[in-house]
Each structure stands twice: as structure tokens, then as C-alpha cells.
Amino acid sequence: MKEKILKLINEQKLNDLKKYLETINSADFPSLFEELEEDKSLIVYRILPKEKAAEVFAELDSYMQERLINYLTDTELKSVVDELFFDDEVDLIEEMPSNVVKRILKTVKPEDRKVINELLAYPNDTAGTIMTTEFIDLKENMTVEDSFAKIREIGLDKETIYTCYVLTVDRKLIGVLNVKDLLIAEPSNLIKDIMNPNVITVSTLDDQEEVAKMFDKYNFMALPVVDKEQRLVGIVTIDDAIDVLQEEVQEDFEKMAAVIPNDESYFKTSVFKHARNRIVWLILLMLTSIITGGILDNYENAFVSLPILVSFVPLLMDTGGNCGSQTSTLVIRGFSQDEIKLKDFFRVWWKEIRVAVLVGIILAIVNTFRIFIQYGFDQSKLAIVVGLTLILVVILAKSLGCILPMLAKKLKLDPAIMASPLITTIVDSCSVYVYFQLAVLIFGL
Amino acid sequence: MKEKILKLINEQKLNDLKKYLETINSADFPSLFEELEEDKSLIVYRILPKEKAAEVFAELDSYMQERLINYLTDTELKSVVDELFFDDEVDLIEEMPSNVVKRILKTVKPEDRKVINELLAYPNDTAGTIMTTEFIDLKENMTVEDSFAKIREIGLDKETIYTCYVLTVDRKLIGVLNVKDLLIAEPSNLIKDIMNPNVITVSTLDDQEEVAKMFDKYNFMALPVVDKEQRLVGIVTIDDAIDVLQEEVQEDFEKMAAVIPNDESYFKTSVFKHARNRIVWLILLMLTSIITGGILDNYENAFVSLPILVSFVPLLMDTGGNCGSQTSTLVIRGFSQDEIKLKDFFRVWWKEIRVAVLVGIILAIVNTFRIFIQYGFDQSKLAIVVGLTLILVVILAKSLGCILPMLAKKLKLDPAIMASPLITTIVDSCSVYVYFQLAVLIFGL
């Protein structure tokens, strides 16, 4: 792709280049621009037809958008902005630095500015911020034929075509129908006779994640967004819903790894920002693990007189951490997939305790064999102490792995913060304490 | 919803019930059936119109499907199976026990059996297993009017309507167009003049995850699947792609938490199966942490003469684990989002080392303060040992968090197995070793 484009540019065959570019999917341009030098990218971008140029622009990440805008004249910028969807325009305004925003707003038509300002006013992460304000609206007394005429007149685009919404005069949503329904109906049928009056809607202030999950559940192509008076104000399309699902998953992964979530991509994030996103939890967790150290301090006499005890501390800490992380991950994921609910608390806990007993006993047996092999059969006391601790630690870790995310959910916090790093640190202190208590008891130290 | 249905059943108002059920979205039936008693669920299911019954059936999980089939007569079962899409039928056959499969296959029309057998033959996790074999195919010399007639004749459904495929006589795929393109064209236009000849296709054996990612990138509604001869054999629709993306994410979460991935839901999985899915990694990791214990054994003299050294072991182990998990999560996610590639190895590593130096120094400073506060200023040697170890451990953990997933990728393994649990165990041994080496050196033990 790159070679062919460079060849056409060098040979000044701009018409051939234009034709060739039309065969490339808009989503492939960002990686193309990354490979090309800046001046070549600009030639390619300027040669694109107006509509495609806007499509390509919407695919670029904010860093590339900003650089591109700096090269464009005001007229060029206006033609891009005019072609953008309102939701893409709003994204752009939210992400650009203020001097660029000023240039963009200058190019926006006065009548559009109102819509943009309204969209900008919705709180973060709500349906209002991801919806498109362009959609096909019909009236209930239109015929199928009228409807096709209206669809052609509004102009169609992949984002908005497949579902049509039926509104009253004061824009209240009373029905929905698919292009499919129109296609199989008689041209003279009335919309009110073929529409589906059972519309599933979301409100502008609904959480974007909940909205995105509805797409997964109902297999919708688009969902209507209504205001408090049931008036249709926009639609969320499936492509935006997928983006939200991906974003939320990424956020969960980062939170669960004790990283503060970050919208930017890995490479675009500076070293300082990476360090900042990671240091907060690291300091917090480091300070928490002082407790475990303190407990060890208390048993100084025990391990000075029986130093072998120390060599099992890593094994107990690691196993506890891993068991807690297994359970907390399953519970956190269960929440986010609506498979586990708060009311299931005792069901989950009971299940985890039974799993823990099974797993704990197996681990204890494996470890006993290992102690006998490594240290001989006279270390049966040691095997008992480590084995019992293992079983207790696994039960504790799996309990906390279930209780803490549930508690977070109950307190309306994100369960993902109760992921393995935090649970590990808590389980650590408990396991060290149980271990040395048992050792003191059984060895009579 | 539940109350209203029970009331209508008790009052024997079955016509009203039927009307009411039609207003309920198929995707809401599974949770409804879970709330209703079995005999009531069966009444509700039997009253549904044929097409809706099949839709509802496809929404049920395999456990509920199996129970339902056991209640249905052969005639009822046949009417459900006849209405199912081929891909849903294949899923059903793959998930049911053999006696149920026999009953299902008996109801399948002989002409359909061939298609089903072909679909069953595709290897797991390929495009072939998630594709639908129903789609709208046009010929290049048809007019727009002919095309609409053909679309009405084939019969439409949300899964398949929005994209039409243009085939040659021997079923080779030569173009694609949207219903949108048909709607805005003149009725007399020829398909070959309005179709888009640049079709992005996938092959039947392509990995389903790669296929699903293409939806995210290109915002498609459907993707055509072709065989080796470029003949169209099916299409993958966006709803199936979303399911694949969700499944793959869930698998990554489980792998990264040292759980063997499992298709069934949390509650449907038995305690034994849960235990089995978790014990493998736990034993493996437990045995690995013996190495750390062995290293501690070697420094028995050191910590017996200076017991305070032991109390910093948890802090070092936890911090190392957390740092490794931060980096490995970001790298693994970067891979799965195609943001990080193998060729970026040195770029990522260099970034991580700089982040590690920054983070390590900050942690060392915080910890020095803490040591001075807790143990007084005369513990500066201890502060130096712990501080230096912290910096080295963070650098090591972040390096391994980057190197190990990269190595897995290079070896064509899933990078997700190199997640925090494994890295934690490896970093543990290194940090304990470095710590005591430094202690012996600086304290002259």
C-alpha cells in the first residue's frame, strides 16, 4: 500500500492516486499515515474527497488530529468539521487544546453550535455523551412510500439508517421500526400499523456502560435516547457501544493491576504520566505490607530459634495471593457481566468456601510430600503447621476475594479496585499471623 | 412482569397472555423463566408464536435449552429447530448431550443436514464456526428493482439484511452493497454499477478473535467469509462478533488470574470443576515459590543475626509483584488491542525501565522516611539496603513484565499466561536474593 502510494506521488499521477485511495477503507488510513512522512500524508489527505476526508479524520487518534489541524487552512478545516457527525465533533472539541478548539468553533455553523453545546453539557460517561443526534424520524400517519421518500431526503449513513423512530408532533417517541419492516410492507401501509410500539429506550443520563451492555443483551443495532419527557434526543449506535465496552474492559484490567486508568494509548502516554498512574497504588500497597512486616517482627523469637520457618513465608504469601486473585477476578467479572448480583452473596461465598477447602487440602497434601522429600520424615510437625496454614489461608483468601468486591459493590464503589493487589496484601498479614501462631503452638516455641 | 403473567395464567386469560408476551423482548425471557416455576414457564413458552419461540429458544443458555427440550414433543421440537438459524442449530448440537442431539438431528430436514455437518467440521474458534450461512446474494446484472424483489423473496432477518453480496455464477464474491445503496439508487440501476468491488473478506479458517477485531476497527455490520476459491460460504454478523470479543476478554481475565478458562457461567460450574480449574496453576506456582524459600534458607545466618531483615521480605515481595503485574497487564492488553507489536520490544522495554527508575526511587525515598520514623535515624544502613533493593526489584519486575509476555508472543503462546501470578513468583526469588546479598555486603554479615 505504502509503496504504491509513494510511487504514484513521485510520478505525479494524482488522478490514479485519488482512484486508488478510494479503494482503501477509512479505518486503514491511521496506520498508513504513521508509515508515511508528514508531507506525504498531507498530500494523501488533501486529495481525498470531502466525505471520505471527514471519515478518515474521525478515525485518527487525537494526537494525529491535532497535528493535521495545524496543517489545514481554515477553509479546509471547515469542510472537515461540516462533514463530521455531531458526536465526533464533540469528541474532537473535548480532546483538543484550547487554541485548536477556538479554531474549530469558528468553523461551526451557528445553528449547529446549540446542539454541540447541549452535547458538551452531558456529564461524563452518560448515554448523552455517546449518542448521535442524527436519526431518521417518521410520523405515525405516514405511508411506507412517504417514509422511503423521507429516508432518501434526510440522507442516509451507516451510523443511522437501519432503525427508524416514530415521533408525535411534540417529538415524543411512540414506536420503532427497521428498514426491514419497511421493505416487506406494502407501499400504502401506514407506519402506525407496522411499527413496534414497545420501544426499549435509555435516558440521556444513564451510565454508558449499562447502555452498552443492553446492546450485548438485545442484539440491537441502535438504541433511542430520550429526555425526561420521553422526547427522542438522539440514538446510540452499535459501533459506539462496542467502543464503550472495550474502554470499560480496559479500565477494569488497569484497575485490577493497580494502575490508574488512562484514556491514552501506551506509547502516547509519557514516562512521567505512566509513573504517576502507577505510583499511587504502589505506595499505598507498600505501606499496607508494613503490617505484615510488623507481624513478622513479633515472631522474631520463633524464627530465630527455628529459622526454617522463614523459608515457608513466600510459599504461603504467594499461594494466598493467587487464591484471592482467582476468586476476586471471577466475582468482579461476574458483576460486570450481570451474572453475579449482590443478593447472591451467600451463594457465592458458600461455593467459594467449598472450593477453598478442596483446593486447600490438595495443596497441603502436595506440600507435605514435598517437605518429606526435601527435609525427611522427621519434619512431620513442620508439615502439619504449613499444611494447616495453607488450608486456612486458602479459605481466608477465597472468602476475602468474594467479600471485598461484594462490599465495594454494596458501597457503590467499583468492585475492580478490590482486585488481587489489595487482597494479596491483606491476605499476607493474615497468613503470616496464622502461620506463626500455629508454629508457636505446635512447636511450643 | 412476573406478577402480570401469573395473574393472566391463573385467570386462564390465554389470549391476553399471548398479546402481552409479544410485547416482551426475546432477550428478557431467560430471566423470566428463571423466576417462574417450571410448569408456568412451559405454559408461557408453548403459547409463543412459532418464530418468537425460536428466538427465545436461541437466547436460553444450554442448561435451560436442555430442560426445555425434554418437555417438548417431537413435533414441537421440530418447529423450533426449523426456525433456528444454522449457526444457532450448530451451537445447540455442540452443547447438548448425545441423547438430545439424536432427537434434534431426527427433526432436521435432510437437505439441511449437509450444511450442518459442514459447519460442525470447522475447527474450534475459527470464522467458520461463528458464521451464518443465510445471506442475501445478488448477481451483477440484476437491477435495483430485481434486487428488492429478491430480498423480499429470500425473506429478511435482522441478522442478515443490511449487507448484500454480489456473486458470480460459480458463487465467487465480487462486490458488496448496503441496503442504503439500494435505497438511494434508481430502480433501473444495475447492481454492478453501484456495488463496491473492494470487499474485505475473511477465510473460514481465520481465528475468530481476529475476525471480531475487524468489526471493531472497520465498524462493519457483517463480514463475508470465503473459502480458498474465494467463494462466499457465509457471513459473520456483528452480534456474534461482540460475543466473541466478550468471550476472549473473559478468557484473558481468567488466564491472568491463574484460572483455566471455562465456558460455563460461574454458578453453572460445579465446585469440583471450579477447584480443578484453579488447582493446576496453584500447585505449579506453589512449587515455584519453593525456590524463594530455598534462597531464604541460604541466608539463615544473616537473618538469625539480624532478624529485622525478615520483616522487609513481604514489602519487597509485594512491591515486586505489583510492579510486574502493572507492566505485564499493560503489555498483554497492548498486544490484544494491536497497539503493541513484537517489533516494539525495545521501545516498550526502554519506556518501562525509565518508568521503573522513577517509581523505584520514589518508593525508596518513601520507605527511607518510614524506616527513620519507625526505627530511628541510626538505621541508615537498613534504609540503604531496602531502598537499593526496592529500586533494583522494580526495574527487574517491570523488565520481566515486559520481556515475558513478549517472549510468549514470540513463541506463539498466549501472552496472557505470563501475567502477574507467574511474574510475581519469579520476581520474588530475585528480590529475596538481591536483598540478602546487599544486606550481607553492607552489614558485613
Alpha-carbon dihedral sign for residues B49, B54, B59, B63 = positive
Is residue B218 located within the same domain as residue B279? no
Is residue A398 located within the same domain as residue A281? yes
Distance from CA of A131 to the nearest CA of B (A): 16
* Chain B contact present for A160, CB below 8 A: no
Is residue B222 located within the same domain as residue B283? no
Alpha-carbon dihedral sign for residues A230, A231, A237, A240 = negative
Residue B114 within a domain: yes
Residue B249 within a domain: no
A163-167/A136-138 β-pairing: parallel
Among B217, B253, B303, B306, the residue to mutate for chain A (most A Cβ within 10 A): B253
DSSP annotation of B73: -
Cβ A415 vs Cβ A255: under 8 Å: no
d(CA A393, CA A35): 53
Which of B63, B66, B122 minimizes the C-alpha distance to B90? B122
Cell 505485564: give the residue.
B328
pLDDT at A445 over 80: no
- Over range A18-24, report the average pLDDT: 85
Residue A260 within a domain: no
How large is the angle between the packed helices B62-71 and B98-107, nearest 10 degrees?
Answer: 60
Instruction: Say yes or no for a CB contact (<8 Å) between B162 and A179.
Output: yes
Range of the domain at B218: 136-238
* Chain B contact present for A233, CB below 8 A: no
Is residue B425 located within the same domain as residue B292? yes
* Chain A contact present for B279, CB below 8 A: yes
Distance from CA of A428 to the nearest CA of B (A): 8
The answer to which of A38-52, A107-121, B423-437 has the lowest mean pLDDT is: A107-121
Is residue A180 located within the same domain as residue A203? yes
Is residue B19 located within the same domain as residue B52? yes
Residue A23 within a domain: yes
Is residue B110 located within the same domain as residue B160? no
The 8 Å CB, 24+ separation contacts for B248-252 are B248/B209, B248/B212, B248/B336, B249/A249, B250/A333, B250/A337, B251/B416, B252/B332, B252/B336, B252/B416
pLDDT band at A155 (very low <50, low <70, confident <90, very high): low
Distance from CA of A40 to the nearest CA of B (A): 23
| Count of domains forming chain A | 3
Average pLDDT, chain A: 87
Size of interface A-B (CB pairs under 8 A): 310
Q: Which residues contact B441 (CB under 8 A, 6 or more apart)?
A: none
d(CA B414, CA A120): 41
* Chain A contact present for B14, CB below 8 A: no
Is residue B168 located within the same domain as residue B113? no
Quick one: pLDDT at residue A160?
65
The residue among A345 and A417 whose pLDDT is bigger is A345
Instruction: Say yes or no for a CB contact (<8 Å) between A359 and B180.
Output: no
Residue B261 within a domain: no
pLDDT band at B160 (very low <50, low <70, confident <90, very high): low
Q: Look up the CATH number of the domain holding residue B180.
A: 3.10.580.10
Quick one: pLDDT at residue B155?
66
Quick one: pLDDT at residue B438?
92
B157 contacts on A by Cβ (under 8 Å):
180
Among B322, B390, B395, the residue to mutate for chain A (most A Cβ within 10 A): B322
pLDDT band at B354 (very low <50, low <70, confident <90, very high): very high
pLDDT at B295 over 80: yes
pLDDT band at A156 (very low <50, low <70, confident <90, very high): low
- Please say which residue of B121, B154, B173 terminates a domain: B121
Quick one: pLDDT at residue B26?
86
Is residue B283 located within the same domain as residue B405? yes
Q: Look up the CATH number of the domain holding residue B383.
A: 1.10.357.20
Is residue A30 located within the same domain as residue A140? no
Instruction: Say yes or no for a CB contact (<8 Å) between A266 and B339.
Output: yes
Cβ A395 vs Cβ A427: under 8 Å: no
Angle at A162 between CA A157 and CA A164, to 5 degrees: 105
CA A262 to the chain's CA centroid: 11
Residues A32-72 have pLDDT tens digits of 888 888 888 888 888 888 888 888 888 888 888 888 888 88
* Chain A contact present for B361, CB below 8 A: no
Quick one: pLDDT at residue A216?
79
Residues B121-132 have pLDDT tens digits of 888 888 888 888
Cβ B352 vs Cβ B398: under 8 Å: yes
* Chain B contact present for A15, CB below 8 A: no
Is residue B292 located within the same domain as residue B413? yes
What three-state secondary structure class fits A236?
strand
- Please say which residue of B192, B217, B238 terminates a domain: B238
